[in-house]
């Protein structure tokens, strides 16, 4: 894949969400899709931009709670494998219907699991979760292992391009590093980060109650 790879290590929840948005804003400057892997300094949860904070607080005991810029429901980050993909606005993925870009990203994850001898399937139907709980059911094209949802994703399209934020919830003794290597393939390395913009988004958006509790 003609993509760039960013393994950004462990950061606090607000910065993780801020960097994803900063990568989206700078997608055209990079000129190629960016595949990012990242971890968390503490257990937390993120939730979709349109979700109601009262419902989210009642659903999980994880704190802090950070409102994503993408859609979707509640995602617990407590041992999950987290990644994001950003595409510049002129990339063909950006023009895809949401359902197709969702299918494509999970097909890539499925291939990476197959490379490490883990057999997963793409859901061909839906099993509705409880309100706000992203991993308690599954949607079309979610990634399943033995019938259980193990990967989901959320998207945002805007004038900058396309951002996909995804989480894998491992259920067994799975090798995270082997999976990363299989998914990343021979991607080149991203050699510059929009850190100034990410830090600005931390202080003006993702660390503020006015953002995280806005609905």
Q: Flag whether 194 is in a domain.
A: yes
State residue 106's pLDDT score: 96
Q: Residue 125 pLDDT > 60, yes or no?
A: yes
Q: Residue 135 pLDDT > 60, yes or no?
A: no
Q: Both tokens of residue 105? A: 């990203």
Q: Flag whether 157 is in a domain.
A: yes
In Å, how far from its chain's centre is CA 202? 18
Distance CA 34, CA 84 (A): 8
Q: In terms of Cα–Cα distance, which of 206, 212, 197, 213 is closest to 160?
A: 197
**Per-residue pLDDT band at 130 (split at 50, 70, 90):** low
Within 119-202, strands assigned E span: 121-122, 143-145, 148-158, 161-168, 188-189
pLDDT above 70 covers a percentage of the chain that reads 93
pLDDT above 90 covers a percentage of the chain that reads 84
State residue 143's pLDDT score: 92
140 or 99, which is more confident?
A: 99
Q: Which of 44, 125, 134, 187 is catalytic?
A: 134
Q: Flag whether 180 is in a domain.
A: yes
**Per-residue pLDDT band at 86 (split at 50, 70, 90):** very high
In a 3-state reduction of DSSP, which class is residue 75? strand
Does residue 134 carry a catalytic annotation? Answer: yes
117 or 161, which is more confident?
A: 161
Q: Flag whether 75 is in a domain.
A: yes
Can you give the residue range of the structural domain that contains 180?
4-94+151-212
The stretch 137-162 carries a mean pLDDT of 89
The stretch 89-107 carries a mean pLDDT of 96
Instruction: Please tell me the total count of domains within the chain.
Output: 1
Distance CA 181, CA 179 (A): 5
Q: Flag whether 138 is in a domain.
A: no
- Which CATH number goes with the domain that contains 56? 3.30.930.10
State residue 127's pLDDT score: 57
The pLDDT tens digits for 5-50 are 999 999 999 999 999 999 999 999 999 999 999 999 999 999 999 9
pTM of the predicted model as reported, rounded to 2 decimal places? 0.93
Q: Flag whether 99 is in a domain.
A: no
* Cβ atoms of residues 40 and 17 within 8 Å: no
Q: Flag whether 44 is in a domain.
A: yes
The pLDDT tens digits for 67-79 are 999 999 999 999 9
Q: Flag whether 136 is in a domain.
A: no
Average pLDDT of the residues of the chain? 92
**Per-residue pLDDT band at 138 (split at 50, 70, 90):** low
215 or 76, which is more confident?
A: 76
């Amino acid at each position: 894949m003609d993509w760039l790879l960013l393994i950004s290590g462990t950061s606090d929840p607000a910065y993780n969400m801020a960097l994803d948005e900063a990568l989206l804003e700078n997608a055209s400057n990079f000129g190629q899709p960016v595949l990012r892997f990242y971890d968390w300094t503490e257990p937390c949860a993120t939730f979709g931009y349109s979700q109601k904070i009262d419902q989210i607080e009642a659903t999980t005991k994880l704190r802090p709670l950070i409102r994503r810029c993408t859609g979707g429901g509640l995602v617990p980050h407590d041992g999950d494998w987290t990644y994001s993909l950003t595409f510049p606005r002129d990339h063909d993925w950006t023009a895809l219907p949401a359902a197709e870009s969702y299918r494509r990203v999970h097909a890539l994850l499925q291939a990476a699991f197959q490379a490490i001898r883990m057999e997963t399937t793409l859901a061909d139907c839906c099993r509705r979760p409880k309100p706000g709980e992203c991993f308690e059911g599954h949607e079309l094209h979610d990634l399943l292992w033995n019938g259980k949802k193990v990967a989901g994703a959320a998207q945002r399209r805007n004038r900058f391009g396309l951002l996909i934020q995804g989480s894998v919830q491992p259920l067994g003794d799975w090798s995270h590093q082997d999976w990363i290597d299989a998914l990343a393939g021979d991607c080149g390395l991203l050699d510059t980060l929009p850190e100034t913009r990410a830090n600005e988004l931390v202080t003006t958006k993702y660390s503020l109650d006015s953002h995280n509790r806005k609905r």
